Chain A
Amino acid sequence: MCGIVGLLLRDRALEPHLGSMLVSMLQALDERGPDSSGIALYSDDQPVRSRTPGGPGRVLLSLGSDSAVDWGQVCAVLCARPGAEVDCQAFGAGVVLSVPDDWEAETRAVLTAGWPEIRVLAAGRRVRVLKDTGRPTETCTRYGVADWEGYMGVAHTRMATESAVTVLHSHPFVPSRDLCVVHNGSFSNYATIRRRLMAAGVEFDSDNDSEVAARYLARRLAAGDDLDEAIRWVMKEMDGFFTLVISTADELSIVRDAFACKPAVVAVADGYVAVASEYRALAELPGIATATVFEPQPEEVYTWFR
């Protein structure tokens, strides 16, 4: 099954309520994906510029692992490096680092050498990602998601059919900076596409079929496609059933396969666009009674801008 959720706020006054709106949506889809869940949070409230004027930008690295990690020690080691301008915050089951761009490669190298079990769940200027196993409603409560502020959230509740239930197998997948993908459905030819991508040097964090679509999409974007073109390539190359919700730092897209086997509902309201697997997830949103509610047509790419 699985449940997917996307919420793009276009009214700044709603931004303090992003978390509570997301939680109401995820609660409604808890039973569609009781195994595990993940949430990508996009916000402006992040140190994207250097502390020294004219210095490099900063990148957020969301870290997670399938093993128990002493995150305090990880942060202590990273922050103790000479000249380090690293911020480290607990986020979900892992941490989020904010590092200068020119420290990203070194930070990743230190992590790989010291803690091979750690993966970078997401990297970006705006996005941070939380993933955990267990009921999504409990995950929301455990990490205080209702208090989050931001301008966009993309989330997933997972009922695994294709690969194991672990943190790293959970959605969203963030295959390149600020690009986030969640998937309801299953791909049948993902092993073939993955072999092709691996031969071209693409690295994977899991054997999840949805991760293949995410990395394929990122590769198309890196080759110069715009988001719409890249999504059309996914439809052309990847065989299977899907509703995909895809976001960048300022776009939210949804697309369904030719048979529309997996559900999706969209609400365009004053101040926000919300997409979800089912109407139940939209029912508690403010102003939903006057929103335009519709189902995305098969193979049509819908994109909204911030």
Chain B
Amino acid sequence: MVPLSCDALGVRAINHELRALPAGGAARVVQPRGRHNLAVGIAAPVSITVAGNAGYFLGGLSGAADGSGPDIVVEGFVGWSVGENLMGGSIRVCGSASQSAGSSARGGRIVIEGDASLRAGISLKGATLAIAGNAGAMSGFMAQAGLILIGGNAGHGLGDSLYEAVIYVAGSIASLGADAEVQEMTDEDLLAVKELVQEAGFDHVDPTRVTKVGSARQLYHFSTHNHGAY
């Protein structure tokens, strides 16, 4: 385990060190103090622990196109856009996440043990985002592919302008966004939620009692007839 001090090295040097780790290597990033861009662009399957609270874009752009990548654990909370454009690997946040968690992430898995703020999973493109607690308003906005699990309650405008991503909610939904609808759970859905609940360790979520939200597919293409719905 390589200890890396943010105070001593700064973010750029820390990320260089993390990229230099051999596959299977491990590092512990200490004194993060809310710094942005930690563990960004890490392609290799390495283990990274961030000992404290991190800032924006934690773990962003990490992983490879085949879905492999680093396993990152944050022992605290994270700022905006954790795992933005993640390609593979995993990120686990032991605290809460600020806005836009998992935005545009293509692959890999992001687990938030606390709450996620507004616009969680915005423009998701294939990754899996699991939130143990509540998700803020406008979560899943324009999400194209992938899976979002909300273990608590969802805020207003859930899944607005959703494409083919699927959202499962264990708690209540304040309101659905335009073109989002509650859909019937299939056996496939149940299996996917069961697996994710187990992987994420969300003991409080009963996979048989989640609500599925998907796209009603009425707003895929712009039409002036839909003006009132946008």
Q: What is A's interface to B at a CB cutoff of 8 Å?
A: 28, 259-260, 263, 278-280, 282-284, 293, 295, 298
Contacts and interface: CB of A to CB of B under 8 A. Distances in A.
B79 A279 contact: yes
A279 B137 contact: no
A284 B117 CA distance: 24
B137 to A, nearest CB: 7
A280 B77 contact: no
Q: Is the interface of B mostly helix, strand, loop or mixed?
A: loop
B80 A280 contact: no
A278 B78 CA distance: 11
Nearest to A294: B96
Contacts of B35: 280
Given A263-B80, A278-B79, A295 B34 contact: no
B55 A298 contact: no
A278 B137 contact: no
Contact of A295 (B36, B55, B56, B117): B117
Contacts of A259: 118, 138
Nearest to A295: B117
Interface residues on B, range: 10 to 19
B99 interface: yes
Nearest to B138: A259
Contacts of B34: 28, 278-280, 282-283
Contacts of B98: 263, 295
Interface string B54-65: 011000000000
Given A284-B33, A298-B137, A279 B117 contact: no
Interface string B125-165: 00000000000111000000000000000000000000000
A237 B137 CA distance: 23
A279 B53 CA distance: 9
Contacts of B55: 278-280
A260 B99 contact: yes
A260 B53 CA distance: 21
Contacts of B56: 278
A302 to B, nearest CB: 15
Given A263-B80, A280-B35, A280-B36, 14 more contacts: A28-B34, A259-B138, A260-B99, A260-B118, A260-B137, A263-B79, A263-B98, A263-B99, A278-B34, A279-B34, A280-B33, A280-B55, A282-B34, A298-B118
A284 B53 CA distance: 12
20 contacts: A259-B138, A260-B99, A260-B117, A260-B118, A260-B136, A263-B80, A263-B98, A278-B34, A278-B56, A278-B79, A279-B77, A279-B79, A280-B33, A280-B55, A283-B33, A283-B34, A283-B53, A295-B98, A298-B118, A298-B137
A259 B79 CA distance: 17
B153 to A, nearest CB: 13
Task: Name the residue in A28, A259, A283, A284 with the highest tally of chain B Cβ atoms < 10 Å from its Cβ.
Answer: A283
A242 to B, nearest CB: 15
Contacts of B53: 279, 283
A28 B53 CA distance: 15
Contacts of A278: 34, 55-56, 79
A190 B61 CA distance: 38
Contacts of A293: 77
Contacts of A282: 34
Contacts of A284: 33
Contacts of A280: 33-36, 55
Interface string B16-39: 000000000000000001111000
Contacts of A279: 34, 53, 55, 77, 79
